[in-house]
Amino acid sequence: MSNDYIPPKVWKWEQPSGGSFASINRPIAGPTHEKELPVGRHPLQLYSLATPNGVKVSILLEELLEAGHPAEYDAWLIEISKGEQFGSGFVKVNPNSKIPALMDHSLNPPQRVFESASIMLYLAEKFGGAFIPEDPRQRTEMFSWLFWQMGSAPFVGGGFGHFYAYAPMKIEYAINRYAMETKRQLDVLNRHLAENEWMAGIYSLADIAIWAWYGNLVLGRAYNAAEFLDVQSYAHVLAWAKRIDARPAVIRGRKVNRNWGEPWEQLPERHSAADFDALPKAPG
């Protein structure tokens, strides 16, 4: 790659650009191969991977179960590094070929839901407005923060995370540009959480969605960048992240559709609560 690159008048896809996902990136939509999705015995079928967007939904499902809602589900692993999101069955559920995706077989015909915030809102409304504040002001605040996360996190994952951890070369300008924006977003959160225990008055969808990205970031689980971003300086974000991290449903939910890390943290498929009990025990 040259430092004096001049963009052509019309961009053409000629060869992979390098980086961790170069082999599956392409500028067109649609399936690349025929593959039907599995369907388990529960009405709710989740097709996902334990990325920040993926764990939003698995954590919410576990929170719903913890709160006594009949939200039993099957979770199936979609290995995006192998291009499984481009299988014909998955594309039928999400034409954008991104995880997570959900099918609700309690309806006839079954209902597909894609985009993580859309899935969260669908599930919350399905179970009586769970984790959505009843107070109109808190409800509005929750929606503002939920969609703040949806609009802001691409700068963290697609921007900072890509250029800091996944790009084929370290580009100082790109890393500095996205590090600055990531730290600005952390400061937005830190200022809000200095005066609020939760994002919208009570623990809500906004906390789950934001924690999946920024909580994991300050807890040192993303891009090996905790020291680089000086996450310890965001004390209020860190305290909030630790409160959420200790919740039993969060502990379970972040293991679902995970196929890396310690053996006791990996539950590639989830079909019942008993699956967690079958995991190896963590040392100590």
pTM: 0.96
Average pLDDT over residues 88-108: 98
Comparing CA positions, the residue from 95, 193, 200, 96 lying closest to residue 147 is 200
Q: What is the pLDDT of residue 1?
A: 57
Give the residue with greater pLDDT, 250 vs 18: 250
Q: What is the pLDDT of residue 30?
A: 97
pLDDT in tens, 177-224: 999 999 999 999 999 999 999 999 999 999 999 999 999 999 999 999
- Give the C-alpha separation, 174 to 234, whole Å: 23
Burial profile 236-275: b = 16 or more Cβ within 10 angstroms, e = fewer: bbbebbebbeebebbebbbbbbbeeeeeeebbbebeeeeb
Domains in the chain: ranges and CATH:
136-253 (1.20.1050.10)
Q: What is the pLDDT of residue 23?
A: 73
pLDDT in tens, 136-162: 999 999 999 999 999 999 999 999 999
